[in-house]
Amino acid sequence: MASIKIIKDKCVGCKLCVGSCPFGAIEMVDKKAVILENCTLCSICVESCKFDAIDFQKDEVSNAVDISLYKGVWIFAEQKNGEPESISYELLGVGRKLADDLKTSLFAIIIGDEIENATKKLIAYGADKVIMVEDKSLNYYNDESYTDIFVQLIKENNPEIILLGATAYGRSLAPKIASRINTGLTADCTKLEIDLEDGKLLQTRPAFGGNLMATIICPKHRPQMATVRHKVMKELEPDEKRLGEVIRPNVNIPTDLKIKVKDVVSTITESVSLTEADVIVSGGRGMGDPKNFELISELANVLGGAVGASRATVDAGWIGYSHQVGQTGQTVGPKVYFACGISGAIQHIAGMSSSDTIIAINKNPDAPIFKVATFGIVGDVLEILPLLIKEFKKA
C-alpha cells in the first residue's frame, strides 16, 4: 500500500515541507517533520524537501493498458445550432500543436443536427479529419446520447488524447465518458504539452481556487483525457484552403433516452455572454449602490462588452448570480477586464486572472487588485467611470 514517511536521519528540520502541504498534514516535533493522519497522500510535499527526507512510496496503478495501441489527438467540437462554439477553435489550436509534436493526426468530433457546414470550419481551423455524427435527435446536448456515441467512437478508434472544453457541457460529458471507460481525466487545464521524451501529455491546471498549479499525467491509461479552460488557448488563423476529410461513422444513435432535455433557455439579456465576451466591465461593492451599476452597464455597452460582478454585490442582491466572476462564479478570460470598485480577493482573481489586459479602478492604492492589474487608476469609480464612458464615446 502507498505510504509516506519522514526519514529522520535525513530531516534537518528546515520546515520547508510544512508550508508546502496544502492540507496542513505536516508538523514539527522535536525539530523533525512528522506526517499527521490527515495526510491525503497527494505527494505535493515530496519535491519541497531539499534533503530527500520524505520517503513516498507510490503504488503502481492497476489495470494498465497497452498504450502503444492508441493513436491520434481528438477534440470535442461543441456547437450550437450547427455553429461551432469558440472553445472548439481553441481546442483545435492547442490540439494541432500536440498532434504535430506526436506526428499524428488531429480529429474533431462533432455531434449534432445540421452540422455539415461546421465541418468545413473545423478543417479550416486545423482539423485533419472530422468525425461527424448527425441526427435530428442530437440537436440539443444530451449527457446520455452524447456519452453513448462518444464511447462507441473511442472504442472503435482508440485515440491517445481527447480534449474537451471546460464548459458546462464539457465538464459533464468528460467525467461521464472517463468513468465509463476507466481512464484519467484532468480538469480545467490551462497548459498542455507533450513530453518530447516519452510522448506523455503534461497537463497543467489550477487547483485550490487558483492558489496552486499542478502538472498531471496519465501514464498507464489511454486515452489521456483533459478538459481545457475557455479563452486560454489560442485559435489558429483559419485557412479556407486546408484540406481535410469528413468521416460519417456507423454508430448506433441511442433511442429511448432516460435523460430528456425539455427546453434550452437563454437568459442573456445583453447581446454578449460573459464567457464569450472580449470586454468585461465588472463592478464590486465599491460601486456603493445597485443604481450605480448603470455606469457599469453603460461602459460595457459602449465597448460592446458584458457586465460582470464580484460575489459581494451578487450576495447583496445588486445583480444576478449569472454575472458573478470568480471561484464560485464564472471563469472568464476576455481581452480587456475592468475591475471597478473590486478589492481583488483571491477568489475573485481566480476567475479573471487570465484576462489579457486588466484595468483596476479603486480608491484604495493598496487594494490587492492592483497586483494583477495591467493598468491601475487610484480614484473614485463614480467619478472615473462617467469620464471613461465619455472618452470611449468620442473614439
Ligand X SMILES: Cc1cc2nc3c(=O)[nH]c(=O)nc-3n(C[C@H](O)[C@H](O)[C@H](O)COP(=O)(O)OP(=O)(O)OC[C@H]3O[C@@H](n4cnc5c(N)ncnc54)[C@H](O)[C@@H]3O)c2cc1C
Closest of 67, 46, 38, 50 to residue 10, by C-alpha: 50
**In the stretch 247-286, what mask flags binding to other proteins with x, by CB under 8 A?**
-----------xxxxxxxxxxx--xxxxxxxxx-------
How would you classify the pairing of strands 201-207 and 191-194? antiparallel
Cell, residue 386: 462617467
Site for other proteins in 204-233 (CB under 8 A): 206-221
* Residue 377 binds which entry of other proteins, ligand X, ligand SF4, none, CB below 5-8 Å type-dependent: other proteins
- Evaluate the CA torsion angle 249, 253, 254, 259 in order and state its sign: positive
CA 58 to chain centre: 28
Query: Mutual orientation of helices 293-302 and 381-394 as an angle, nearest 10°?
Result: 20
**Of these, 2, 3, 35, 136, which contacts ligand SF4 (CB under 6 A)?**
35
Site for ligand X in 184-203 (CB under 6 A): 185-187
| Cβ-based burial of 391 (10 A; exposed 0-12, middle 13-18, buried ≥19) | exposed
Q: Between residues 251 and 372, which has the closer beta carbon with respect to other proteins?
A: 372
**In the stretch 42-81, what mask flags binding to ligand SF4 with x, by CB under 6 A?**
xxxx--xx-x-xx---------------------------
Shortest gap between Cβ of 247 and other proteins (angstroms)? 27
**Of these, 1, 5, 9, 16, which contacts ligand SF4 (CB under 6 A)?**
16
Q: Between residues 72 and 341, which has the closer beta carbon with respect to ligand X?
A: 341
Report the distance separating Cα 20 and Cα 28, nearest Å.
13
Site for ligand X in 315-344 (CB under 6 A): 324-329, 341-343
Cell, residue 346: 483571491
Is 155 strand, coil or helix? helix
**Of these, 154, 163, 187, 233, which contacts other proteins (CB under 8 A)?**
187
Cell, residue 275: 464567457
**Contact between 367 and ligand X per CB under 6 A:** yes
Report the distance separating Cα 235 and Cα 44, nearest Å.
33
Number of residues that bind ligand X (CB under 6 A): 38
Report the distance separating Cα 313 and Cα 351, nearest Å.
16
| Rg of the chain in Å (alpha carbons) | 24
The residue range among 8-16, 66-74, 323-331, 384-392 that interacts with ligand SF4, by the rule CB under 6 A, is 8-16
Q: Can you give the binding site for ligand SF4, defined by CB under 6 A?
A: 4, 6, 11-17, 21, 23, 25-26, 33, 35, 39-45, 48-49, 51, 53-54
Q: Can you give the binding site for ligand X, defined by CB under 6 A?
A: 42, 185-187, 205, 207, 212, 214, 216, 284-286, 288, 310-313, 324-329, 341-343, 345, 347-348, 351, 361-364, 367, 380-382
